[in-house]
């Protein structure tokens, strides 16, 4: 019996040591949503590649994004915004897309509108994401802009945005088009 307890203690110590040898982002990824506060509050350590590896942080970002799309809970965007603000350029490229915009338009725009202006990290990367989408096929630039305009008009019709929200969305669209014009 004594040997069995000793063996159990040794196994627990080894298991715990293995868990702590993983990069922070990997450990936190396996505990989402329980680790959200730690992710948000320790974003520099979580997102900086000197403390973690890219695969884990990319998986964590994907997990947070997917969970927001499914639940629309802003705590996931709080974490994404913190990581976005604190990450290296390599990891930051992961934020340059429009997935949240197209898959969770209203809750995503609500978050961006209430959590700053066009200078927060998620908004800047959304604008860059539109720029990249429009650059994908320069011959299709006209149609890419039309698709964006059509999508926004459709969403405004569904959600009846206030004048301030409409101006905010137009500002994002305007900045996205300016990025393409500069290219």
- Return d(Cα 83, Cα 92) in angstroms, integer: 9
Highest mean pLDDT among 25-34, 114-123, 135-144, 153-162: 153-162
Provide the residue ranges of all domains of the chain, joining segments of one domain with +.
Answer: 10-93, 96-183
15, 50 contact by CB (below 8 A): no
Per DSSP, the residues of 50-74 read TTS-HHHHHHHHHHHHHHHHHH--H
pLDDT of residue 17: 42
Q: How far apart are CA 83 and CA 53, in angstroms?
A: 14
- Tell me the per-residue pLDDT of 30-64, one tens digit each, with 9 for 90 and over: 889 999 999 999 888 888 755 556 788 889 999 99
| pLDDT of amino acid 77 | 94
Confidence (pLDDT) at 163: 93
Predicted local distance difference test score (pLDDT) of residue 127: 86
Q: What is the mean pLDDT of residues 133-162?
A: 83
Is the distance from CB of 127 to CB of 179 less than 8 angstroms? yes
CB-side exposure of 58: number of CA atoms within 13 Å?
A: 9
What are the backbone angles phi and psi of residue 87, rounded to the nearest 5°? Answer: -85, 165
pLDDT of residue 167: 92
Per-residue model confidence (pLDDT) at position 152: 92
pLDDT grade for 20, boundaries at 50, 70 and 90: very low
Cβ neighbours, 10 Å, residue 97: 17
**C-alpha radius of gyration, the chain, whole number:** 20
Burial of 31 (0-12, 13-18, 19+ CB in 10 A): exposed
Question: Considering the chain, what percentage of its residues have pLDDT values greater than 90?
Answer: 38
Return the pLDDT at 128.
Answer: 86
Residues in CB range of 92: below 8 A, 6 or more apart: 84, 125
Confidence at 22, pLDDT banded by 50, 70, 90: low
Please state, as a whole number, how many other Cβ atoms lie within 10 Å of the Cβ of residue 118. Answer: 14
**Residue 19 scores a pLDDT above 60:** no
Residue whose structure tokens are 């695969």: 55
Confidence grade of residue 89 (pLDDT, cut at 50, 70, 90):
confident
List, for residues 138-148, the tens digit of each pLDDT value. 667 777 788 88
């Amino acid at each position: 019996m004594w040997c069995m307890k000793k063996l159990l203690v040794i196994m627990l110590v080894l298991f715990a040591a293995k868990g702590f040898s993983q990069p922070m982002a990997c450990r936190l990824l396996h505990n989402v949503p329980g680790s959200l506060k730690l992710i948000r509050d320790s974003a520099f350590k979580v997102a900086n590649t000197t403390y973690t590896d890219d695969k884990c942080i990319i998986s964590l970002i994907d997990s947070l994004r997917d969970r927001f799309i499914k639940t629309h809970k802003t705590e996931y965007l709080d974490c994404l915004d913190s990581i976005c603000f604190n990450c290296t350029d390599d990891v930051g490229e992961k934020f340059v897309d429009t997935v949240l915009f197209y898959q969770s338009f209203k809750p995503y725009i609500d978050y961006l509108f209430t959590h700053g202006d066009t200078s927060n990290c998620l908004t800047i990367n959304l604008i860059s994401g539109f720029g990249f989408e429009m650059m994908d096929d320069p011959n299709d630039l006209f149609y890419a802009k039309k698709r964006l305009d059509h999508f926004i008009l459709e969403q405004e019709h569904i959600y009846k945005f206030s004048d301030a929200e409409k101006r905010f969305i137009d500002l994002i669209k305007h900045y996205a088009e300016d990025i393409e014009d500069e290219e």
